[in-house]
Chain A
Amino acid sequence: MTTGAPEPLLALTDVNTFYGQAQVHFDLSITVGRGHIVCLLGGNASGKSTTMKIILGLVKPRSGEVTFDGASLISLTTPQIVRRGIASVPEARRLFADMSVRENILMGAFVRSDRDAVAQDLDKMLTLFPKLGQRLSQRAGSLSGGEQQMVAMARALMSRPRLIVMDEPTMGLSPLYVDRVLELIRTINQDGVSIFMVEQNASLALEIAHEAYVLQTGKIVLSGPARTLKDDPRVRDAYLGGSEAA
């Protein structure tokens, strides 16, 4: 925890995760401050996606602690964790392909029972993602990748989360949509939602993040404010191809 950072919303402390015999995380510690965008960088098989699964309770660590707003998540199931206020934008979107766009977005509000407010939030989503308005009754599986990403983000927002975890939100999108998605993440964050995102595209992620961690074969090798990391020669060498490219 760096000086001046607010009390963390999410904290992973000394997490060790195993798949069978293979260890995926080695004493992993990460904090996400309130109102911050934190990104986790790393190459293939560095344990990024597993970190997301740990937060969501889809995978349980062998040792270590995960707390959200001061309370432990270790013994909670995924649905219980979602009810605590964590939403997700999974890798490759994972929409419910045979349900309509409207149904997909409303599935995001599954944990809520305030029907009227949910209906209002749906309208809010349509102002935030105006393109989805014409697509509401379409099968979600028939949308383009970028549109699906919008649906996935809207779906995550519908639970009124305090934290959204995103797994490679820009993966496989056209450059136009990449910019749009990053812009939206910033907007969402400005409304008070903290963001924890896993990314391979370091230069883009560091553009919008407050803090960043670099994960290498299950260990945090670098961390700090995004601004500092961006100029760190080690990050530049490993991820940014030596020169500024964003």
Chain B
Amino acid sequence: MSSWLDYTINGLIVGNVYALVAVGLALIFGVSRLINFAQGSIYLVGAYIGWVAVVQLHTPLPLTIIVVAVVAAVVGLIIERFGLRPLQNSVRIAPLLATIGISFVLDQLVMLTFSPNPRALPSQLPDVRFQVGGGTIGPLDLLIAGVGISSALLLFVFLRYTKLGWAVRAASQDRDAAMQMGVDVNRVNQTVFGIAAALGGVSGLLVGMYYNQIDTAMSLQATLKGVVAEVVGGAGNVPGAVIGSMLLGLVESYGVAVFGTSYRNLFAFLLLVVVLVLRPNGLFASARQAPPEPLTGTFIAPSRPVRIPRWALAVAIVALAILPLLPVSFYILQTLINAWLLGMLALSLTLVAGTIGQVSLGHAALLAIGAYTSALLSLTLNVPVGLAIMAGGLMSAALGTILISPSFRLRGHYVSIATLAIGEIVSLVILNWESVTRGPIGISGIPPLSLFGYDLISPASVYWFAFAVMVVLALLQARLLGSHLGRCFRAIRDDDIAARAYGLSLNRYKSLAFIFGGFAAGVSGGIAAHLYSYINHETFNTQQSILALTVVILGGLGNVVGAILGAVALVGLPEVFRIAAEYRILIYGIVLLLLVRFRPQGLLGTI
């Protein structure tokens, strides 16, 4: 590829692919006010069904497309019926979390069925290229454009001229009023999920053919790109999603043209953050259509927390502190060290998501900032490790808060999207800022943990160090929750407008929460870096952010003891039951789904 025309063509083709994903997201958001994080998983399923059809069944292309669309639609219907419909009267965060859980389960099922290794998905079209002006275009480009445009037209006709299409539009504008006209909203939801899934599946097939390669990492990428395109166009706005997709495709393509391939995603997420900051309703929504999400007070499940007597906590702390003195295996200590590290991250997230109500999906970025700061300080400037970890915590607190601050004016789902994007941006900056972070090579030879000149090599000493740090952070956080500040945080979570009316500065309190939470997460990342001795841009990924969220929900949002208990449970139980690594993510997904369905307030209750 050389000419600008080529980059433009490429951008538009990729834009068509994104549009197939984003339109489905927009339809679903319109009807259910839900960002479907499982959309990328359906796209993944579409790609693999396509692989089975093409490589094993040798179906002709039109049949391949039909098979993929039908199977994907069935998957979408199953998700709607069994994953989401039971949550209809649940708290607002429940369906969002359920789609995250569903996506974990689907991705892992695909991975277990087809192995994580990439597969080739051959294009069923002749490999020729036509000259168009100064660029070239191939039959597959034309197919993608054709599928994209005809899907958009069909959707337009469906929404404008069919009875069910009218029902979809009416339900997306006023669900209750639509029901009073006799619209069966469940049927509308089914329709929308079916359409969204069929389009998403076909999109996965086309992308697989375009790059002649499919692998399970496609799923999260597709969800992210679809969400970016949808939000850029205005959440719930179907034509907006199409235009947002094209814009995203072009921005990425031109970004790649100027800076190189590794910058593709960075441009996508920067576009998202810019749009969220400047026009959170999307580029094509008029100001009138700015319905603030009615999330206030109902976003997390209210409950009465389980009271744990102080003496019991004291006994637990002492028992865990003397554990290494007992004849326990190295393996148990190792597992618990991991639990304490995850516990620190969970403390951070439970404060941010539970106490002040900002459900962050990019928390792993705070780990990464802490880890890189601490590793680089100790490696290049020979800063003592203890100090370097402290500095990592402070850097996470400062940088994390600054990075998150553009999302302070957002609410509900938008906060989750923004934090997800900011998390991706951090990881992409680490990947591309080679002079400082050593880019894709990562940092190796990080010195081991040490304190006051003594290296902490033995498992017991590492255990004590991690445990002590976590207990101190937990006590501080418990103290904070009981204070005036903690009350202000909860006031903002429960009703930010009322809180503001009483003179609370939202930005200040959100900053304070992220500073405190950022510190805890940064320290956790710092300790992890010295423990692992090697880190790279993928060490702290979105999967960890979601794992932390599962931990926090398991324990009860906002609940300090719950966060630690959740971490021990999610790290420990798979070890106890000796569950193979590849099944763990599947288990986490199922745990998340079951929790959301049956105990949204978590084990110990929300605070």
Contact = CB atoms under 8 A, between A and B. Distances in A.
A99 B169 contact: yes
Contacts of B174: 94-97
* The 6 A-B residue pairs with the shortest CB-CB distance in the complex, in nearest-first order: A111-B182, A82-B182, A94-B177, A78-B179, A96-B173, A88-B180
Interface in A57-83: 58, 77-79, 82-83
Contacts of A78: 179-180, 182
Contacts of B288: 141
B325 interface: no
A69 B179 CA distance: 21
Contact of B170 (A77, A82, A87, A107): A107
Given A96-B169, A96-B170, A110 B177 contact: no
> In this complex, which of B169, B179, B180 has the most chain A Cβ atoms within 10 angstroms of its Cβ?
B180
18 contacts: A77-B184, A78-B180, A79-B179, A79-B182, A82-B181, A95-B174, A96-B173, A97-B173, A97-B174, A98-B169, A98-B173, A99-B170, A99-B173, A103-B166, A106-B166, A107-B166, A107-B170, A111-B181
Nearest to B163: A110
B181 A107 contact: yes
A226 B23 CA distance: 54
B167 A110 contact: yes
A185 to B, nearest CB: 18
Interface in B548-577: none
Interface in B143-176: 163, 166-167, 169-170, 173-174, 176
A99 B168 CA distance: 12
Nearest to B180: A88
B220 interface: no
A223 B237 CA distance: 49
B183 interface: yes
A94 B182 contact: no
Interface in A133-160: 141, 155, 159
Contacts of B163: 110
Interface string B172-210: 011011111111100000000000000000000000000
Given A99-B169, A159-B182, 8 more contacts: A78-B179, A83-B182, A88-B180, A94-B177, A95-B177, A98-B173, A99-B166, A110-B182
Given A99-B169, A107-B170, A90 B177 contact: yes
Interface in A110-137: 110-111
A152 to B, nearest CB: 9
B166 A110 contact: yes
A78 B169 CA distance: 18
Interface of B: 163, 166-167, 169-170, 173-174, 176-184, 288
Contacts of B170: 96, 99, 107, 110
Contact of A79 (B169, B173, B177, B183): B183
B290 to A, nearest CB: 13
B177 A96 contact: yes
A108 interface: yes
Contacts, number: 62
A56 interface: yes
A56 B178 CA distance: 12
A58 B288 CA distance: 28
Contacts of A155: 181
A155 B182 CA distance: 12
A99 B184 CA distance: 19
Contacts of A83: 182
Given A82-B181, A110-B166, A90 B173 contact: no
B85 to A, nearest CB: 13
Contacts of A106: 166
Contacts of A103: 166
Contact of A110 (B173, B176, B183): B183
Nearest to A158: B181
A188 B167 CA distance: 27
Contacts of A111: 181-182
A111 B167 CA distance: 11
Contacts of B180: 56, 58, 78, 82, 87-88, 90, 94
Nearest to A82: B182
Contacts of B167: 110
A94 B184 contact: no
Nearest to B289: A98
B166 to A, nearest CB: 6
Contacts of A94: 174, 176-177, 180
Given A58-B176, A94-B174, A110 B169 contact: no
A110 B179 contact: no
A48 to B, nearest CB: 17
Contacts of A87: 180
Contacts of A90: 176-177, 180
> In this complex, which of A110, A111, A159 has the most chain B Cβ atoms within 10 angstroms of its Cβ?
A110
Contacts of B184: 77, 79
Contacts of B176: 58, 90, 94
Contacts of A159: 181-182
A103 B371 CA distance: 58
Nearest to B169: A99
Contacts of A97: 173-174
Nearest to B173: A96
A3 B288 CA distance: 53
Contacts of B182: 78-79, 82-83, 110-111, 159
A61 to B, nearest CB: 16
B304 to A, nearest CB: 14
A111 B163 CA distance: 10
A88 B166 CA distance: 19
Nearest to B288: A141
> In this complex, which of B169, B176, B179, B182 has the most chain A Cβ atoms within 10 angstroms of its Cβ?
B182
A107 B165 CA distance: 11
A49 to B, nearest CB: 12
A94 B183 CA distance: 15
A85 to B, nearest CB: 11
B346 to A, nearest CB: 31
Nearest to A56: B180
A103 B174 CA distance: 14
Nearest to B174: A94
Nearest to A86: B180
Nearest to B187: A79
A74 B178 CA distance: 20
